Amino acid sequence: MGIDVAEIDRFGAALDRTPTMADRLFVERELYLPSGERRGIASLAVRFAAKEALAKALGAPAGLLWTDAEIVTEDSGRPRLVVTGTVAAAAEALGVTSWHISLSHDAGVASAVVIAEG
């Protein structure tokens, strides 16, 4: 299990300071809503917190690529984690067969919990 929090304004300031950071952290589907509109900072901050929580759930192995973990929103609104590449390999090595994820943002803080089950 991993948990992480991110201060939304601080995360937004980091994205403003380093415009290329978003491309290193997120796949394009995470950056934009189905309508084509760019996601808000709170939505991106909670996705970042989820990726940090995911890394913690895996024991924080070196070499994970942030873009090898994608937070997908199902039609119902429920978040789902999709892993590929480096993240999938680390999960497989630990015997992870399924993921559980919970996201929240309120009062300027984004939080995420990730459970790796196997």
Pairwise CA distance, residues 44 & 53, whole Å: 14
Spatial contact of 115 and 99, defined as CB atoms under 8 Å apart:
yes
- With a pLDDT cut of 70, the percent of the chain lying above it is 100
Give the pLDDT confidence of 38-87 residue by residue, as tens digits: 999 999 999 999 999 999 999 999 999 999 999 999 989 899 999 999 99
Q: Is 9 annotated as a binding residue?
A: no
Q: Is 52 annotated as a binding residue?
A: yes
Q: What was the pLDDT predicted at 58?
A: 97
Helix (H, G, I), strand (E, B) or coil at 105: strand
Task: Write down the pTM of the prediction.
Answer: 0.94
pLDDT at 19 over 90: no
**CATH code of domain 2-117:** 3.90.470.20
**Integer CA distances (angstroms), 113 to 5, 15, 31, 35, 63, in order:** 9, 22, 20, 27, 21
Phi, psi of 58 (to 5 degrees): -90, 0
